[in-house]
Structure 1
Amino acid sequence: MPCRRPFTFGFVLFPNFAMLSFSSVIEPLRIANRLSGKNIYHWELLSLDDQAVEASNGLLFTPSLQVEQWHDLDAIILVAGIGTSLIADQRLFKWLRDIARGERLLGSTSTGSILLAKAGVLKNKRCTIHWEDQANLQEEYPELIVTHELFEISGNIMTCSGGTAGLDMMLSLIERQQGSRLAKSIAEQCIHPTIRPAHDQQRMSIEEALGIHSPALARAIEIMQSHIEDPVNCESIAAMVNISNRQLQRLFKHKFGLTPATYYLQLRLEHGDNLLCKTSMSILDVSTATGFSSTSHFSKCYRKYYRMLPRERRKQVATG
């Protein structure tokens, strides 16, 4: 139902936050006010230390509300980006738990879901995150219900995959609060003719993303992507897609200039690199999560591909 006073959002900005994610969640509120001719929504910017925050594109944003005034807010949205996995502020996590215990909306966009997971407020809640970080979040927090949705609204917790998905999440929320007519009018103003449902795809299909015209090749890559931790040999993959192993070899050689085994190994190493950079998992756990029989084997293959050891990569990430 429409609020008697403006429904107030607090956007908590973290260093290197993604500008596209931020624009997608704040602009629908501005447009809602303009189209309705009323101040339905109000918003404030916050940062943990009440100091200016620099976005990933270098623009600087100054907080408009101090963190200690958060009780004046109806909803709090974490806007994060690169480097979120390195944040380990226990005061932040306690604050998020305090918010979650109340009736306020608590949400995130993009990698902000990592902070909610660290705070322990996503237990028994459906949540989502940018596709690039989905496997990482699930590996580090296996008890979570991590989905591939564009956004999730579970009780008073909202999570969003980031990018333009924030627009769909906010339109869904506005539709609940103000009705579909206003939500659709906002979408049209944004040149967004279709309000995407939560279950819409985050990513292009393999065929579109890689320019593949062979269904067998696309299916083979899909099998590889879904068996990172428990690798399948190439003969079995060929059988699964109903072609010979020799034909599988030809398809990969023609499209990528690589054997299927080499392509598969690179997928696993790239996933391992993602885990090293974006989680606190031990190198032993990373090697297991990428299907290697030992840490030494993982380190050897990783060094050959990335020209550095996994521990050197971790040090590189820690020092920025």
Structure 2
Amino acid sequence: MWLLNEMHGKRILLLGTVLVLAALGYMVTTQYYQSTPIADKSNPEELFDRINNDDPDVYEPAVLELAERGSEALIAVIPRLKDDNQFGKVIAVLEQHDISKLIPIEKPVVKANQGGEKKVLIVTGHEYPGHLWQRTAPALVDILAEDARLEVSYVEDPRILAQPELNNYDVIFLNYQNHQVPAPQGALNNLKQVIKGGKGLVLFHFASGAFIDWETRQLNTEFAEIAGRAWNPDLPGHDPRGPFKVRITDTEHPITKGLSDFETIDELYTCLDGTVPIQVLAKATSIMDNEDHPMAFVHKAGNGRVFHSPLGHDLEALNDPVKELYRRGTQWAAKLEVDD
């Protein structure tokens, strides 16, 4: 009996030892995989393909994997993203996890008239893919540069809109639109405070669609407060691109004084919506609804001046009269004497 009890005790001890070793092995294995760099989990090219995917269930974890490799890895992949929209998605994922600082915010670069009396910042680089900002944004620099009083700076990172240095500029010129990508955190609130505090705002073409809530596809009424009118996804967007006549309806305002009606080839926007009072400077008649729609208007947002025009789809649409509107509109928003 004593021998049987001893053998039974040894079996229990052996079984306990096996269980302890198995538990230790599991812990070591788990710890190894948890501590293994995330970079080892994915082939770099496969990871890059996942980041360029349109499915958030695919690109979001891929962005986080890349983030664990560090700032340099994130920055290196940016030039290979298929479009600006994808870069916006990367930033949105990083912002959700409070690690967007891994990609430093681009610093504005002075493009013309350094030391000019008033400072204008063109914010561009993130747009609906059908709008070639790579062509229109440099053209806008040239348009504004004709007035030596305007120091024109340029940035392609919309996160600047959420930064305190936005106050360093007299006019924010938006050639930006968050196409199916959340706007940078804090951007709209900061922009509102800057403009209502006395700075100027110029909205170019589809900038009327900046800060749209693309998940709900609803008019952003908060943005419309400073834009005067904003793109409403529930309304018909615009006439087919083609020729139409722009009529100057306010011949006394400094922006349009002395200007004549003109023909253009562009998209005639029919979807601008909002309730704040605006002063319409120019109109055009839609072939879709046979109604007049504003092609240029101004309004006051707090202490700030806002000039807004939906004209300027492409370089052809940036004809001489449209260039003149934007140059004069920027002068007015900057509280300068407008050229006649």
> TM-score, normalising length from structure 1?
0.39
Point out the structure with the larger strand share. 2
Point out the structure with the larger helix share. 1
> TM-score, normalising length from structure 2?
0.37
